[in-house]
Chains A and B, each alone.
Chain A
Amino acid sequence: MKRLLVLGAVVLTTAALAWAGSETQPKAGGAPKPVIEKAVKGEQCVEDTDYMRRNHMKVLDGHRDKTVHEGIRTPKHSLKECINCHASETTGSVAASKDDFCISCHSYASVKIDCFDCHSTKPQGSAAMHPLNAETAHYKHKLAAQAASKISAEEMAGVAP
């Protein structure tokens, strides 16, 4: 009985495979390749491109501990300098849109990063480009409050002179 069952399973599997193989399936092109924007600033990365593609996370990890615990803020290997060079010219950020430097590859490789939960994605001093960046963001409530307070209660009720 057991033998019969095994035989049956083998026959069925073979048949299924043969049927599947007979279908003319369109050849998949794979996911669209990531767009890698050339760094706006600078000619050469601090390490070889091939090395950085594989090891940037290790490089950043080592540097972050030195920075946080020992106060060593050398620009080489610091995330801040990565952002300074690689921020996109259009969005001014490394992670604002899907084609920005960090996001482009990470979404292709399906790697979720949480660096930018805490770190700014924009170089410092780009206030002109981004009216609501870190320089001014905490003033937006104030601005909104001022804008709202321009109309007094009397004006709203139509009794103002």
Chain B
Amino acid sequence: MSELKPMSEQAPASPERRRFVGTAAATAAGLAIAPGVVLVQVAHGRPEDQAVSSAVRWGMLIDATKCANGCNDCVTACSTENGWTPVAESKHPRQAPQWIRKLELQDPLTQMETSLPMLCQHCAEPPCVDVCPTGASFKRADGIVLVDRHTCIGCRYCMMACPYKARSLVHEHLNDTQKADVPRGIGCVESCTFCVQKVDRGDGNTACAEACTAAGHNALLFGDMNDPDSEISRRLRELPTKQVRADLNLNLGVRYHGI
């Protein structure tokens, strides 16, 4: 019965989620960008000559109860999509870039094991953006936190500031091995981009989430957290989720269930 009442007392509805829902409802009603121009479909129907808007907030729900121990498909898919060398195949593993990594955790008291992927949490209040001395680290209007490599000087302040160790520096020349859609290079910091090239193409999904679904685990769900009708918003309403280091109050774009 309680499933019929989405905001019942058993679902922990945080004030910020209420705010999301409010914004999203306003968005769904029709958002006027400029006089005479009304953005009707916000998530996937963005015309290619139109800038991204804050009407969308991309986010990910990671269900740690479904994430399989020992499975590395999300990491492999990410490296294939974005063209970074996996740590195991790198000549310098300690310096190898890691856009997403698998963590295997164990509760020392109960011995319960948890497996989850850790990646850039795409904070609404990103510390990496706060500390960047050149403005290279920035948050896009749709919530994706990126590095503008044209302005990055490789100082690595953002790597220090990130509570999730989500960023890495490219230490070596890549010798033209980059993907055409994913420029990356020596001396620049990089991290998960929520597959921004795919999002801009209108795929509406990331390589890691696609791989997880293809493997049958369905532990990763990507979507627009501002759209109340999206699958991710629906699941976030139903499931108890946590933000990692919620005490930092960063309002994360990645939410975990089962941790």
B179 near A64 (CB under 8 angstroms)?
no
Q: A72-B51, A142-B89 are in contact. Are A118 and B176 (CB under 8 A)?
A: no
Given A71-B140, A72-B51; 6 other pairs, CB 8 A cutoff: A65-B150, A68-B148, A68-B150, A73-B200, A118-B178, A138-B79
Q: A66 CA to B150 CA in the complex, in Å?
A: 12
B140 near A69 (CB under 8 angstroms)?
yes
Q: A65 CA to B150 CA in the complex, in Å?
A: 9
A145 / chain B contacts, CB cutoff of 8 Å? 89
Cβ contact of A116, chosen from B52, B176, B196, cutoff 8 A:
B176
Chain A residues packing against B (C-beta within 8 Å): 64-66, 68-74, 80, 83, 93, 96, 116-124, 132-135, 137-139, 141-142, 145
B150 near A93 (CB under 8 angstroms)?
no
Q: A132 CA to B83 CA in the complex, in Å?
A: 12
B84 near A138 (CB under 8 angstroms)?
yes
Whether, in the assembled complex, B127 has its beta carbon less than 8 Å from a beta carbon of chain A, the answer is: no
Q: A83-B180, A120-B176 are in contact. Are A71 and B149 (CB under 8 A)?
A: no
Chain B residues packing against A (C-beta within 8 Å): 46, 48-52, 79-80, 83-86, 89-91, 138, 140-142, 146, 148-150, 173-174, 176-188, 196-197, 199-201
B196 near A141 (CB under 8 angstroms)?
no
Binding site of B, secondary structure by majority: helix, strand, loop or mixed? loop
Q: Please name the residue on chain B nearest to A115 by beta carbon.
A: B183
B146 near A68 (CB under 8 angstroms)?
yes
How far apart are A73's CB and chain B's nearest CB, in angstroms? 5
Top 10 nearest A-B pairs by Cβ distance?
Answer: A118-B185, A137-B177, A124-B180, A70-B51, A141-B89, A71-B52, A118-B183, A134-B179, A138-B85, A117-B185
Q: Please name the residue on chain B nearest to A132 by beta carbon.
A: B177
B89 near A138 (CB under 8 angstroms)?
yes
